[in-house]
Amino acid sequence: MTHPKTQAMARSVLCTALALALQVPGHAADASRLGGELTPAGAEKAGNKAGTIPAWPGNQVAQTGWSFGQLRGEHFKYKDDKPLFTIDASNADKHADKLSPGELAMLKQIKGYSMVVYPSRRTCGLPDFVAENTKKNVATAKIGADGWSLKEAVVPGVPFPMPADGTEAMWNQKMRYRGVGIDYKNVVTSVSPRKGGTDWIRAGQEFTEFMPWGAKGSTLLSTLPPVEYFAYFAYNSPTALAGQALAITYFLDQPGSETFYYFPGQRRVRRMPTYSYDSPQIGMENQYTLDEPFVFNGTIDRFDWKLVGKKELYVPYNAFGAYDFKTKFEDIAKPDFIEPGHRRYELHRVWVIEATVKPGMRHTAPKRTFYLDEDSWNLVMADDYDAQGNLVKVREGFLIPVYETGTCDVSAFVQHNLTEGRYVFDMHAAGTGSDVRWVTEPSGPRFKSSFYTADNLRSISSR
C-alpha cells in the first residue's frame, strides 16, 4: 500500500498546483474560437509562458515513408530527440509540481522506477472532415435527460470541444476519432508475477473493436444505432483460457453492456448481464476489471464527473515503445515495470477530471482522477482510490500519433496495483510480431453489427 506520507505529499502538491495553475473554461461555447485561439479539437493553440510547451503547429505529417508492417517509431518525425532529463526517486520532489499523485507514488514506491522526459511535441490533429463536424457540434451535441448519456452529435467529431463539465469531457474521450475500428491480430494481456514469484499471466488473443459511427463523412448520431462500440476477442492461450471468446456491445444510452461469452468446455454461449464496470476479468487473478482497459472503458453512469481544470504534467506522449512488435516481450515488460527506454514522457496540458461514485451506486474505486490530453482528448493517466482514500491503482496510456487516421490515440496502457506490487500491460503490440491496425474504411464481417450477436459467436467459436 502507498506510504501515508507519500499520499499526503502527493495530495498537497496536487491541491496547491490546482489552486494556482488550473484553468476552468471562462467563455461560452463559440464555434468561431475553433481554428482561432483554439485548435480544431478545442485545445489552446498557444504554448505555455515558460516555453516548455510549444504552440500547436497545425495538422502536420508526423511520419516519413511509413507503411503498415513497419515499426511506427522508426518513422516518427522526432525519433532523434534526445532526453532532457530523467526523474527517479532521488529527484522526484524537485519535479513534484509536474507529476500526478500516481506518478509520484510510483517513483517513490517502486524500486528502480524512473521517467525519461523528452522535448514536448504536439503531434495530434484532426482530419478536415472531423474538424468540420466538431464545429457543428458546438450547436448540435447534447447530453441526455438522464445527465450522462450522449443524445446527439455530428459524427465523427468531438462532441464538446469546449466542455462545460466532466461528463462532456469524458464523452469527448469516448468519441475521439479512431477510424471505424482497431484490429489486433495478436495481442497479449499480461499480468506481472506475484511478489516473490516468476510466473506471468500471458493471455494471447485476437481482438477487434468496431465503432459504427466512425465512418468518414458527416452523420447525426441519432440516425445510427445507439452503440459506442462493439468488441470481439478470442483467446488462444494460456490453456485455461484458450478457446474462450466474447462479443460485447457498449451503448451510448444504456447502463452496463451486452456481453456474450463462449465457454468451449460447455460448447455454449452464455449471456453475462453483470460482466461490466468493476467486475474482475476472467483469468486475471483479480488484477484487472472490465472498466480499466484503455485507461477507462465502458459506461459512465455510475460516477459524477467534475471538470476541475487544466494542469501541466509529464505524461506518456509519442510513446512508441509499447508498440514495438519486433522486440522481445521480456525486453519491454520487466518484472516490476515497463522498461524506461520504452516509455517516453513529455510536458503537456491535461484536463483534470475527478470521478466520484454516485449515491446509491457502488464501485471498488469510489474516487478516481483522470487526466485528458487537451490536444487529442485521450486519457493519458488515471489514479484510483479505495473507500478509505488510499491510492491503490495508477494507469498510464501510451499515446501515439496514428498515421492511418491523422489523429492520436491510446491503445497500449499499463496499470500498477500499488497495494499488491503487480501490473497489467494490455492492448499493446510489444513482442507480438504483428502491429495494431487502425481501420478507416469498414470492410469484412467484423465491421458489421451482425458479427457481434450470440448466434454468430456460437457459430464461429464451435468450428
- Cell numbers linked to 278: 468493476
Q: In this model, does residue 201 exceed pLDDT 90?
A: yes
- Residue 65 pLDDT level (bands cut at 50, 70, 90): confident
Give the domains, in start order, of the chain with CATH numbers.
4-461 (2.50.20.10)
- Residue 60 pLDDT level (bands cut at 50, 70, 90): confident
pLDDT, residue 13, reads 46
Closest by CA position to 194, among listed 426, 1, 420, 425: 420
pLDDT tens digit sequence for 351-397 = 999 999 999 999 999 999 999 999 999 999 999 999 999 999 999 99
Average of per-residue pLDDT values in the chain: 93
Closest by CA position to 426, among listed 398, 407, 384: 398
Distance of CA 1 to CAs 49, 108, 195, 420, Å?
38, 12, 13, 7
Average pLDDT over every residue of 242-269: 96
Q: In this model, does residue 138 exceed pLDDT 80?
A: yes
Q: In this model, does residue 155 exceed pLDDT 60?
A: yes
- Residue 35 pLDDT level (bands cut at 50, 70, 90): very high
Rounded distance between C-alpha atoms, residue 208 and residue 187, angstroms = 10
Question: What share of the chain in percent tops pLDDT 90?
Answer: 90
Rounded distance between C-alpha atoms, residue 75 and residue 78, angstroms = 9
Question: What share of the chain in percent tops pLDDT 70?
Answer: 93
pLDDT tens digit sequence for 280-315 = 999 999 999 999 999 999 999 999 999 999 999 999
Rounded distance between C-alpha atoms, residue 132 and residue 157, angstroms = 8
Per the rule left: phi > 0, alpha: psi between -120 and 50, beta: everything else, 17 is alpha
pLDDT tens digit sequence for 271-280 = 999 999 999 9
* Residue type present at position 126: L
Global pTM value: 0.93
Neighbours of 242 (CB within 10 A): 14
- Grid look-up 449515491 returns 359
Work out the widest C-alpha separation in the chain, in whole angstroms.
62
- Residue 11 pLDDT level (bands cut at 50, 70, 90): low
Q: In this model, does residue 27 exceed pLDDT 70?
A: no
If you compute the radius of gyration of the chain from its CA atoms, what whole number of angstroms results? 21
Q: In this model, does residue 19 exceed pLDDT 60?
A: no
Rounded distance between C-alpha atoms, residue 62 and residue 81, angstroms = 13
pLDDT, residue 63, reads 65
Per the rule left: phi > 0, alpha: psi between -120 and 50, beta: everything else, 145 is alpha
In our burial notation (b when 16+ CB lie closer than 10 A, e otherwise), range 202-229 reads ebbbbbbbbbbbbbeeebebeeeeebbb
Per the rule left: phi > 0, alpha: psi between -120 and 50, beta: everything else, 238 is beta
- Grid look-up 501510451 returns 398
Average pLDDT over every residue of 18-39: 70
Helix axes 101-109 and 4-21, enclosed angle (nearest 10): 150
* Residue type present at position 385: Y
Average pLDDT over every residue of 8-34: 57
- Residue 59 pLDDT level (bands cut at 50, 70, 90): confident
Average pLDDT over every residue of 128-157: 98
Lowest-confidence segment of 10-14, 234-238, 277-281, 401-405 by average pLDDT: 10-14
Residues 413, 295: contact at Cβ < 8 Å? yes
pLDDT, residue 440, reads 97
Rounded distance between C-alpha atoms, residue 161 and residue 2, angstroms = 36
Q: In this model, does residue 153 exceed pLDDT 90?
A: yes
Rounded distance between C-alpha atoms, residue 400 and residue 415, angstroms = 18
